[in-house]
């Protein structure tokens, strides 16, 4: 399959009629899959009403079909076609954070969406992305668009069109290049079907921000206990992983350097994932700073790009620093823990 690439300047007015947008929308209406930029990561879009389109999403990603997809909309009126009820707390969150990096899990109205898109569940996860290109494409289709991250399953999520092409060139119909994304980690997922909203996946909207709007918010126990099955799209399997094994270390730079020295003495090429404040403290084969520790938003923005950078360096093992799990740090650590798949060194003992 030849993958079409469109470049779109997101600052252009009246994007809905932009030729590249209308071409991408036409492909989506024909049940092809097209990668779209959002404010979080690039999404792999397909017609959420079509089994054929949803099957193509799963096939392109190599993603298990029992993992539900997030449905993307451009207008709240679209909810009427596939959502049974919108609780008051959900309305408040929509008003505060839509368009934006917040996904809400709501009761599904039967008959409209592909059962494959919702994995046969009685609920549906939906959001309105805060990116003019994504909104224009969705509006031009007139359809709800199912869109997981536009990467091969298990790999770091894509924050540029080049990342998408690296993973999916020849596997999908098209890629809309709207430039690099902003937030860098996926949306926060909140279950609004319970009396108290439940965070199923931390992301670009923090728990603290949610509680300012609706009061008490709880967290899915699976976030703290990997033995429990998570309920959120994109959280059931290992994700975000670079090619080399990643070990997180709850320790200072000297302790991490000791681990680096041990592995290099064994003949391994070692990488260190750090921050700008600490990058000069290490001696390793590859050292990448993912942002500034003093500005965790910069870490979130550069996280996946940094994980992918290690693939270019051909290291055998990576040691990474940990972050405070407050604010967006909760999302950062959630993604790093999923990318690692190992106990944190310093909390569960040494290697």
Sign of CA dihedral 161, 47, 188, 212: positive
Pairwise CA distance, residues 126 & 220, whole Å: 18
> Cβ(53)–Cβ(46) under 8 Å?
yes
Q: Could you tell me if 297 and 312 are in contact, meaning their C-beta atoms sit under 8 angstroms apart?
A: no
Q: Which two tokens stand for residue 35?
A: 């990668």
Q: Is 238 annotated as a binding residue?
A: no
Alpha-carbon distance values, 180 to 155, 189, 227 (Å): 18, 22, 35
Q: Is 240 annotated as a binding residue?
A: yes
Q: How far is CA 297 from the centre of its chain?
A: 15
123 is in an annotated binding site: yes
**Half-sphere CA count of 239, side-chain side, radius 13 A:** 23
72 is in an annotated binding site: yes
For residue 152 the two structure tokens come to 């091969």
**Which contiguous run of DSSP H or E holds residue 350?**
none
CA distance 230 to 226: 8
Instruction: Determine the Cα–Cα distance for residues 273 and 241; give it in Å rounded to an integer.
Output: 13
According to the annotation, is 149 in a ligand binding site?
yes
Angle between helices 132-141 and 19-29 (to 10 degrees): 50
Is 38 annotated as belonging to a binding site? no
Residue 25, marked binder: no
The helix/strand/coil state of 46 is strand
Q: DSSP character for 186?
A: P
Tell me: is residue 131 an annotated ligand-binding position.
Answer: no
DSSP of 97-147: H-SSSEEEEEEEPTTSS-TTTTTT-SEEEEE--S-HHHHHHHHHHTS-EE-
Q: Please, are residues 351 and 247 in contact by the beta-carbon 8 Å criterion?
A: yes
Question: Is 63 marked within a binding site?
Answer: yes
Please provide the distance, in angstroms rounded to a whole number, between the alpha carbons at the two ends of the chain.
44
User: Which residues belong to the annotated binding site?
Assistant: 40, 63, 67, 72, 123, 127, 147, 149, 157, 187, 201, 240
User: Which residues belong to the annotated binding site for L-threonine?
Assistant: 40, 72, 127, 147, 187
User: Which residues belong to the annotated binding site for ATP?
Assistant: 63, 67, 123, 149, 157, 201, 240
């Amino acid at each position: 399959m030849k993958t079409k690439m469109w470049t779109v300047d997101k600052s252009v007015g009246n994007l809905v009629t932009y030729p590249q947008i209308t071409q991408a929308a036409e492909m989506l209406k024909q049940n092809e899959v097209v990668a779209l930029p959002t404010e979080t990561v690039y999404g792999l879009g397909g017609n959420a009403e079509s089994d054929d389109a949803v099957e193509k999403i799963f096939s392109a990603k190599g993603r298990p079909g029992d993992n539900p997809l997030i449905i993307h909309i451009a207008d709240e009126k679209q909810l009427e076609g596939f959502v049974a009820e919108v609780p008051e707390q959900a309305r408040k969150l929509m008003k505060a954070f839509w368009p934006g990096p917040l996904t809400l899990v709501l009761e599904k109205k039967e008959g409209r969406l592909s059962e494959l898109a919702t994995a046969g569940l009685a609920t549906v996860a939906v959001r309105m992305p805060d990116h003019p290109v994504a909104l224009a494409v969705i509006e031009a289709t007139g359809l709800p668009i199912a869109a997981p991250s536009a990467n091969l399953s298990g790999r770091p999520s894509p924050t540029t069109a080049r990342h998408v092409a690296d993973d999916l060139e020849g596997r999908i119909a098209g890629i809309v290049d709207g430039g690099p994304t902003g937030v860098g980690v996926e949306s926060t997922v909140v279950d609004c079907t319970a009396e108290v909203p439940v965070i199923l996946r931390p992301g670009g909207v923090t728990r603290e921000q949610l509680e300012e709007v609706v009061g008490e918010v709880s967290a899915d126990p699976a976030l703290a206990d990997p033995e429990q099955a998570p309920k959120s799209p994109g959280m059931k399997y290992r994700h975000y992983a670079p090619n080399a094994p990643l070990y997180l270390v709850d320790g200072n730079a000297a302790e991490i350097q000791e681990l680096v020295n041990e592995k290099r003495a064994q003949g391994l090429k070692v990488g260190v994932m750090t921050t700008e404040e600490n990058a000069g403290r290490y001696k390793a084969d590859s050292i990448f700073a993912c942002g500034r520790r003093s500005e965790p938003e910069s870490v979130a923005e550069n996280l996946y790009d940094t994980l992918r950078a290690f693939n270019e360096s051909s290291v055998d093992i990576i040691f990474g620093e940990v972050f405070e799990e407050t604010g967006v740090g909760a999302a950062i650590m959630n993604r790093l823990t999923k990318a690692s798949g190992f106990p944190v060194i310093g909390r569960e003992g040494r290697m």
